Structure 1
Amino acid sequence: MHGPGSAAWLLVAVCAATGAYCLLRMRSRVEEQRRTAGGEALMGFGMALMAIPAAVVTPPPAAWAVYAAVFGAAALRALWAARSSAHHLHHLVGAFTMAYMAVAMAAAPGGHAGHKGTGAPLVTGLLLLYFAGYVLWSGARLVPVATAGGPPASGWGDRPELARACRLSMGIGMVAMLLTM
């Protein structure tokens, strides 16, 4: 990712922190939360690695093939999981987007995005629209609403508002990364 160094490092920090929190969520007592948290941790750490400024570390060309393979496999897993939960469709789009960006970065001059002409403009535009809409939707879901007085969450892994905030930050990160393509 090219652009202001401080913005790239902020994206790295936010994505890495999100990935770390998702690892904590994997300790939840709710099986579905554990399952989705693993995929979200992969996305957070993958986004953090991809966002490291090219001036600091330029990954070898084979790294982009590894990213594409890992996120291609994650997309297939999300496609399989989407049979039982619509939320996995978002994971499918996210994993596909990461694989798409890895392929585009491999094809980019110097092996890093930020150069005009990386990726297919139509695909990039559609993904950008999807994630911009997702950011608006998930941001609106963070607005506090009156609760029915249910039991408080018992641990860090069972806090739905923190999980939503993580998904929002990863969506914003995805928009930022797609804008550089």
Structure 2
Amino acid sequence: MPGPAWPGWLLVALCGATGVYCLLRMRSRVEEQRRAAGGEALMGFGMAVMSVPGTAFTPPSWTWPVYAAVFGGAALRAVWAARTGPHHLHHLVGAAAMVYMAVVMAGSPVSGHDHGHGGAGVPLLTGVLLLYFAGYVLVSGVRLLPVAAVAAGVAAAGWGDRPELARACRLSMGIGMLAMLLTL
């Protein structure tokens, strides 16, 4: 990720912590939660690794095709899962955005400041993804606000099955995706 190092490290920490929590959510008793948590953990860790500042580590050139393949596989899995409900489409968009960023990073020069856009401004796909994730963050934030912890409900549910924590993780990954897309 180009630019100053500290925002990149903050993004690494945010996405890494989200990935860890999503891994822990995979122990849920609810099967659908476990499946979603696995994909979200992959996304969180992938975003964390991709966000490491270029001043700390410059990945080898073979890294970006591997990213594209891994997240391409995640996108195919999301397409398959989308037949059971439209809520999986967000995972498809997220995985596709990761593939797109990996392709852009593969084509960028070593300096990491010009990502192949030739100074022509924001490419259309980057703009569409920015709009999508900005909308997703706003909607997720609004959905998170009214979730009130009812004492009996919180005590009965395990900490990995709390919907407000899962929503907060999705919100933080959406914010992270916006930050990553802004650096392209």
The TM-score, its normalising length taken from structure 2, stands at: 0.92
Per-residue deviation, residues 62-83 of structure 1 (Å, max 9, x unmatched): 0101000000000000000000
RMSD: 1.9
- Once the two structures are TM-superposed, the CA of residue 110 in structure 1 deviates from its matched residue by 1.1
Cα separation, 2, equivalents of 1:42 and 1:116: 24
The alignment partner of 1:54 has SS state of coil
Q: Give the aligned partner of residue 131 of structure 2.
A: 129
Per-residue deviation, residues 93-122 of structure 1 (Å, max 9, x unmatched): 00000011001000001174x425449700
- Are the counterparts in 2 of residues 131 and 175 from structure 1 also a CA contact under 8 Å? yes
Q: 1:141 to 1:99 in 2, by over 3 A?
A: same
Cα separation, 1, equivalents of 2:32 and 2:146: 23
- Once the two structures are TM-superposed, the CA of residue 144 in structure 1 deviates from its matched residue by 2.6
- Are the counterparts in 2 of residues 28 and 158 from structure 1 also a CA contact under 8 Å? yes
Query: What is the identity percentage for the equivalent residue pairs of Structure 1 and Structure 2?
Result: 71
Q: How many residues align?
A: 180
Per-residue deviation, residues 50-69 of structure 1 (Å, max 9, x unmatched): 00001111000001010000
The TM-score, its normalising length taken from structure 1, stands at: 0.93
Note the residue ranges of structure 1 that are not aligned, 5 or more in a row.
none
The alignment partner of 1:168 has SS state of helix
- Once the two structures are TM-superposed, the CA of residue 148 in structure 1 deviates from its matched residue by 7.9
Q: Give the aligned partner of residue 36 of structure 2.
A: 36
- Once the two structures are TM-superposed, the CA of residue 150 in structure 1 deviates from its matched residue by 6.5
Cα separation, 2, equivalents of 1:150 and 1:174: 35
